Amino acid sequence: EPEVTQTPSHQVTQMGQEVILRCVPISNHLYFYWYRQILGQKVEFLVSFYNNEISEKSEIFDDQFSVERPDGSNFTLKIRSTKLEDSAMYFCASSESRNEKLFFGSGTQLSVL
Amino acid sequence: AQSVAQPEDQVNVAEGNPLTVKCTYSVSGNPYLFWYVQYPNRGLQFLLKYITGDNLVKGSYGFEAEFNKSQTSFHLKKPSALVSDSALYFCAVRDSHSGTYKYIFGTGTRLKVLA
């Protein structure tokens, strides 16, 4: 079965530093998402991306966050100046159409010190 | 606004017994409902979905779920639990009428199947 791949699997950074989390969605998928999970429990929506633009974002997704699909295959999440509370597992997901199931990557565990 | 609730943090069941993991939802329009499973250190994996049609949907690994519009529920079931079913289960909903793209996830229910 096709997979969503995410790199790195773990990222440790100092507070205030910029991080970029990378994702390669499934090749024929059109809808892309970032979610995060804190302490292995609640899964929170961050942003959805369709047709090369943000289609929806949550209150968490403030000016410190941005997303890009720079080359038609990668999908990145940038956090400009990390805070302690950004520590979480970040999941990328993609889907073929708007009502179809999401395929999730294995996640990037971000630790902000 | 859309929301989803999983009232049980953990469900324990003996191997071979039937299992139920509960989910209720709230949307303004018609719901698109999903169940996902998460194993340790892994991403969420799709189990089954309800979009329209038959209220009883069957999914992967012998799981099924019943859509109940009057009770706004979408409980996950399996007739005979396996130890390997032990994992974290998430219910998710999207409102079909609000124009939203996002899927809202419940807080998760940890299923423990005891040998």
At A70, is the pLDDT very low, low, confident or very high (cuts 50, 70, 90)? confident
Residue pointed to by tokens 């079909």: B96
Contact assessment for residue A46 and residue A60, using Cβ atoms and an 8 Å cutoff: yes
Cα nearest neighbour of A42 on chain B: B107
What is the rounded average pLDDT of the residues A45-67?
A: 95
Mean pLDDT of the B98-111 span: 90
Put simply, the answer to whether B43 touches A104 (Cβ < 8 Å) is yes
Q: pLDDT of A2-24, one tens digit each?
A: 899 999 999 999 999 999 999 99
State the smallest CA–CA distance between residue A41 and chain B in angstroms.
6
pLDDT of residue A2: 83
CATH number at residue B76: 2.60.40.10
Q: Which of A58, A101, A105 sits opposite B43 (nearest CB)?
A: A105
Min mean pLDDT across A54-58, A61-65, A99-103, B32-36 is at A99-103
Give the mean pLDDT of chain B: 94
Report the domain count for chain B.
1
Fold of A5-112: Immunoglobulin-like (2.60.40)
Q: Which member of B32, B90, B101 has the closest CB to residue A56?
A: B101
| Residue A11 tokens, joined | 């990222």
Q: Rounded distance, CA B27 to CA B95, Å? A: 6
Give the largest CA-CA distance in chain A.
Answer: 38
pLDDT in tens, B28-44: 888 999 999 999 888 89
Window B:72-111, CB contacts with A under 8 Å: 88, 90, 94, 96, 100-105, 107-108
Distance, in angstroms, between B51 CA and closest chain A CA?
A: 8
Of the candidates B57, B43, B51, the residue with the CA atom closest to the CA atom of residue B90: B43
Window 1-60 of B: residues touching A by CB (8 A cutoff) are: 32, 34, 36, 41-46, 49, 51
The CA distance from B38 to B47, in Å, is 10
Q: pLDDT digit string (tens) for A71-108?
A: 878 999 999 999 999 999 999 999 998 888 999 999 99
> What range does the domain containing B58 cover?
3-114
pLDDT beyond 90 at B98 = no
Q: Cα distance from B55 to chain A (closest Cα, Å)?
A: 17
